[in-house]
Every structure is written in structure tokens, then in C-alpha cells.
Amino acid sequence: MKKLKIDLPQISKKRIALRVTSAAERAIRSGHPWVFENAIVHQSHQGKSGDLAVIFDKKRHFLAIGLYDPDSMIRVRILRALKPATVDKHFFAEKLDSAHQRRAPLRDSDHTNGYRLLHGENDGMPGLVIDRYAETAVIKLYTPTWIPHLSAILDVLEEDFPAKRIVLRLSDRLKESNHGLHDGMFLLGEKPKSPITFQENGLKFEVDPLRGQKTGFFLDQRENRARVEKLAKGKSVLNVFSYTGGFSVYAARGGAKQIVSLDASKPAIKAARKNFSLNFKETHLHEGIVGDAFEIMAQMKKEGRLFKMVVIDPPSFAHKQSQTDGAIKAYKKLTRLGLGILAANGILVQASCSSRVDSDLFFNSINIAAHQAGRMLKEIERSNHALDHPIEFPEGEYLKCLFALAP
């Protein structure tokens, strides 16, 4: 198996000693994984990205150890709090094994081999995500602090999950030259001759881990897709912001009589059609539309086109706190547009992946917009995070979804 040889920077053997504010101490003790720049009141010396920082409390007792980032407002990402630890390959192996054990129902499944192996902060490895697609693992780095430790992560990943190939994805911040690393490179194995296909609840999906959004597929919506399947029988379904058609494929297996996938991306709609054909011969049941979701739904209303189920799963509208008000306005507008083309006694499914918009605010905005549109919703279910996307601190919660009947 071809393994890429990479010349990575070395971390300093000298640990950075830090003391932080009382508020930061309390946050660390309660399990918060970040120490911000303005929370540091004393620092022994400057360090490089990925160096280990040890945080002491007011009595100079050990409080936590984490990865230091001199160029980020999040100055330290906590790896272990309250109990001292030696951060090495063995430490990372224990973290990854614990995460894999946590996902035992997925790991041992014979009908699902696509899921999140490691969920960053929520699995004790802040800024590091690993997703599995059949025999391919995709590592995504959200912080350069992991670059010096990448070889160790590769070693323990190979031991815990023997993959045929490992792909590296980098966040926007890291896409500039980083020690010979680049987004979409193969750290292990080579590019396959045919597209990568994985299973989710027995359905087949193609994924492009080199160029696709996130790591190639939105694995976090797996359980919501299964909920849509159970509600779709005999219905016409519109899947808005469909990406590669996950909800559409599930709706088809659930017995939907017609499915429309709507997305602004032409390649995404092409992929949605391919995913549909991977699972069903009746491809005439599926229609793909490329266009702006707001404009297309408004046009459908003018044309009097109605659906018995409308699924709205947009990208994040609030990447920072100042964008929250705009996000709420967008969610309300989508609710009104969705209800405008939802037949009487139809089902509205609306999701948000904006962590800046909390669940209560999101669900309330939908109900307010529905009331303004003259449709009083009867809630069926509210859902949040799946097993492989656990949440261990408030800011880590981002996904929420409403299933409601609209008389």
C-alpha cells in the first residue's frame, strides 16, 4: 500500500505553561474545549502551532493540556482536562478507539458503512474530523495545530480502521501552502479507478471526497433521511438544497410517487441523478432542477405546483453571531415559500445547520412564519444530532430539524 512520505514540522519538547482567567478556569472544568486569546493572563514563552500547552489553575495545579495555536483567537484546543496526560501516539490511539467504540452500532452494521469516525471537539480531538466511506477514510483539518501530529494520527487510524485509502481535506484557513500538504491529497493509497460508493441504511451513494462539500457527503442527516422515508409513501416530494439527493433517494424507497431535487449546483444535481439510478430503475420518478431555491419555489407557487412533502435543508446562514438576524429572516422566508407550494395536510421538513441559531430560536421562527402564512403547523417531531455526531459542549450543537403537518 502506497503511503505518502511527508516532511512535517516537529513540536517543541518544552511545554508552554499558561494561566487563565477565573471564567476560563470554570469553563475548562465544565468541559469546554477552547481557551481564547483574551482568557490568558500568563504565558511562559511563545510557541509554534501544534506545540503542547499546559494550563494551571490559580493554585498552580494542573488544569488541562491542549494544542497551541499562536495565530488563532482560539489559542488552545483542550485535549485533556483535570487529569494529566502524556500526549503521544498512544494517547491519540485511545481517543480514536473510544470514538470507534462509541459508534459500535454503525461500526458493526452490515448495511451502513458511511459515518463519522471522529467528531472533533466532541470526541476530545478539537479541530479534527474523520469520516468513513466504505474502505476510504477522509481526514479533515480545521486547524494547523494538527499538522505536526498528522503522522501519528495516520498510524493510529490505520491500526483502528484499516483503510484502502486515506484522503486529506483542509479547511479554507489551511488551503494555502502547509508543509507540502494540499486539499484532496491521498495520504494513503491512490485515487480509485471508479467512483467511491458507500452504503447508508442499505442505500448506495457515490461520494467525491476530493472535491465534495465537507468531506463529500452530509453524513449528519442520515437519521433525518430515514425519518423522511417513513413519511414519504404515496407523496410528491420536493427536496430543496438537495445537494447529491440524499433525501430524494430515501423518499423514493419510502414509496414517494414523484421526487424533485432542487439545487443551485449543476454537478450536485448530476450526482443526485446518479445516486437515484444506483438504487432504482424507475428514474422517471425523479426530476432534477438547477436553480436558486428562493426563486424556483416562488416560481412554482405562481405556476400552482404543489407537493405533499417539502424538505428544506439549506447551508449555514450564520457563520458568525452578527449574521444571526439575517439567518432567521432567511429561515422564515424559506418556511413561507415552502408552505406556499405545500398541499393541504402536507408535511414540511425544515432543517438548520447554523450553530449560531439555537434550537428554540429556529423552531420558533418556523412556527411564526407558518402563522404569518396562515398555516398552523402540527409538529410531528423535532430531531437533532445522530450517534456519530455527538455533542459535548453547547457551541458544538448545530443540527436541528422539524417535521410538521401543515393542514
Average pLDDT, the chain: 94
Asked if 328 contacts 369 with a C-beta cutoff of 8 angstroms, the reply is no
CA 269-214-129 angle, 5° bins: 150
Q: Strand order in 342-352's β-sheet? A: 286-290, 258-263, 236-240, 307-312, 342-352, 400-406, 378-383
Question: Which contacts qualify for 194-200: CB closer than 8 Å, 24 or more apart?
Answer: 196/133, 196/134, 196/136, 197/134, 197/278, 198/113, 198/114, 198/132, 198/133, 198/134, 198/136, 199/111, 199/112, 199/113, 199/114, 199/134, 200/112, 200/114, 200/225, 200/246
Which pLDDT does position 179 carry in this prediction?
81
Evaluate if residue 3 carries a pLDDT over 70: no
CATH of 16-81, one of 2.20.25.10, 2.60.40.10, 2.60.120.380, 2.30.130.10: 2.30.130.10
315's grid cell: 447551508
CATH of 89-198, one of 3.30.750.80, 3.40.50.720, 3.50.50.60, 3.60.60.10: 3.30.750.80
Tell me: the pLDDT tens digits for 176-224? 767 889 999 999 998 888 889 999 999 999 999 998 888 999 999 999 9
Compute the average pLDDT of residues 378-392.
Answer: 96
pLDDT value at 175 more than 70: yes
Question: Residue 224: what are its φ and ψ, rounded to 5°?
Answer: -70, -35
Q: Please report the pLDDT score of residue 4 as a whole number.
A: 64
Q: Which of the following is catalytic: 353, 377, 386, 399?
A: 353
Q: Which pTM was predicted?
A: 0.94
Say what the pLDDT of residue 275 is. 97
Residue 337 has pLDDT above 90, yes or no: yes
What percent of the chain shows pLDDT beyond 90? Answer: 86
Q: What pLDDT does residue 237 have?
A: 98
- Each residue's pLDDT tens digit, 141-161: 999 999 999 999 999 998 888
Query: Phi and psi (nearest 5°) for 145?
Result: -60, -20
Return d(Cα 167, Cα 191) in angstroms, integer.
9
Cα(212)–Cα(183) distance, integer angstroms? 11
Q: How far apart are CA 78 and CA 58, in angstroms?
A: 18
Residue 401 is a catalytic residue: no
Superfamily classification of domain 218-406 = Vaccinia Virus protein VP39 (3.40.50.150)
How far CA 127 is from CA of 33, 90, 124, 245, 341, in Å, comes to: 10, 19, 9, 28, 40
Compute the distance between CA of residue 307 and CA of residue 344 in angstroms, rounded to an integer: 9
Of 334, 353, 340, 272, nearest in space to 303 by CA: 340
The larger pLDDT score, comparing residue 161 to residue 380, is at 380
Domain ranges of the chain: 16-81, 89-198, 218-406
Q: Is the pLDDT of residue 239 over 80?
A: yes
Domains 89-198 and 218-406 share a fold: no
